């Protein structure tokens, strides 16, 4: 997936964010494995001093090697990731749910030195899990950019506070990664019903329509997405796919007005 192209300084840090791993026997929280990584990479993209390896490429490589965070200590795996993706920093981690609490741990690896450079942990009650994810993301961005944790908060996408909405969204993304676009669309619509203002699901609904060749529906979803958050990191994808709907339907350029 391409993210919105912006000018980055030549010294920008190139970062790869791989899926987290759930360590507890709590299948109802499985969605957070991709939820954590996607939230972090989307937030990191907001800072010009950071570049992000394309999500779909990272996911494909992770699936091929059957990624688990323990591989961050495996010299061979780290070398493979470095060769294929060229990141300077690799981010991943684990989480567990126990006694009504959720504990999230994230690790950063210097891909040049193959050493762990930072580790962050956040523990919150399960009903505040999304707040904890936000705190972890803020701290990661701060550690990479040497800025206060809340310095970029006003520029971040509008994330949901609804756990059912977030769960549906990331279960949908899991279906998307498997190429099951109809099932993914259903999950994204479920996320939208749980939180009508959840900007992220608007984009994914449009994208699933796009992949299912339902271009008029895709166009309307993309228009909603653009209206709700014109600065969202996925805006580049949305605009490109929106324009493609006109090409696919052989619509006159005048319709763009």
pLDDT (tens digit, 0 to 9) for every residue of the chain, 257 residues total? 444 444 444 578 899 999 999 999 999 999 999 999 999 988 887 777 888 898 889 999 999 999 999 998 888 998 899 999 999 999 999 999 999 999 999 999 888 877 766 788 999 999 999 999 999 988 888 888 777 666 555 666 678 999 999 999 999 999 999 999 999 999 999 999 999 989 999 999 999 999 999 999 999 999 999 888 888 888 888 899 999 888 887 765 555 55
Instruction: Report the pLDDT value the prediction gives residue 4, as an integer from 0 to 100.
Output: 42
CATH code for residues 13-155: 3.40.50.10610
Intervals of CATH 3.40.50.10610 along the chain: 13-155
Distance CA 257, CA 26 (A): 50
Contacts for 113-116: CB closer than 8 Å, 24+ residues apart: 114/75, 114/78, 114/79, 116/72
Q: What CATH class is the domain 163-256?
A: mainly alpha
pLDDT (0 to 100) of residue 87: 92
Q: Distance between CA 33 and CA 39 in Å, rounded?
A: 11
For residue 119, the model assigns a pLDDT of: 86
Please state, in angstroms and rounded to a whole number, the distance separating the CA atoms of residues 67 and 60.
10
Look at residue 122 in the predicted model and tell me its pLDDT. 95
- What are the structure tokens assigned to 173, written together? 């993304």
**What is the Cα gyration radius of the chain?**
18
The boundaries of every CATH 1.25.40.10 domain in the chain are 163-256
Query: Bridge-partner residues for 98, per DSSP?
Result: 101
Nearest-angstrom CA–CA distance, 69 and 45 = 22
Place of tokens 């969605």: 31
Predicted TM-score (pTM) of this structure: 0.85
pLDDT at residue 149, as a whole number: 60
Burial class of 178 by CB neighbour count within 10 A (0 to 12, 13 to 18, 19+): exposed
Asked whether the beta carbons of 32 and 168 are under 8 A apart, the reply is: no
Rounded CA-CA distance 141/228 in Å is 24
Percent helix, strand, coil in the chain, to 5, is 55, 15, 30
**H or E element: which one contains 170?**
helix 163-177
């Amino acid at each position: 997936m391409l993210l919105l192209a912006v000018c980055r300084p030549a010294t920008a840090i190139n970062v790869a964010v791989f899926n987290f791993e759930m360590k507890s026997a709590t299948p109802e929280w499985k969605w957070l494995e991709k939820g954590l990584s996607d939230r972090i990479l989307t937030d990191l993209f907001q800072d010009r001093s950071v570049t992000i390896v394309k999500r779909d490429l990272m996911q494909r490589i992770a699936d091929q090697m059957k990624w688990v965070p323990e591989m961050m200590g495996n010299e061979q795996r780290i070398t493979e990731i470095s060769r294929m993706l060229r990141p300077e920093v690799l981010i991943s981690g684990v989480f567990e749910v126990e006694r009504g609490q959720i504990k999230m741990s994230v690790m950063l690896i210097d891909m040049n030195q193959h050493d762990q450079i930072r580790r962050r942990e956040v523990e919150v009650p399960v009903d505040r899990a999304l707040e904890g994810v936000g705190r972890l993301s803020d701290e990661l961005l701060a550690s990479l950019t040497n800025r206060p944790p809340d310095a970029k908060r006003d520029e971040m996408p509008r994330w949901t506070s609804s756990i059912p909405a977030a769960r549906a969204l990331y279960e949908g993304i899991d279906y998307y990664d498997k190429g099951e676009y109809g099932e993914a669309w259903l999950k994204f619509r479920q996320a939208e019903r749980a939180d009508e203002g959840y900007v992220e699901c608007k984009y994914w609904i449009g994208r699933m329509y796009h992949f299912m060749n339902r271009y008029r529906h895709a166009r309307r979803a993309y228009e909603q997405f653009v209206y709700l958050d014109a600065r969202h990191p996925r805006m580049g994808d949305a605009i490109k796919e929106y324009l493609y709907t006109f090409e696919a339907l052989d619509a006159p350029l005048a319709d763009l007005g």
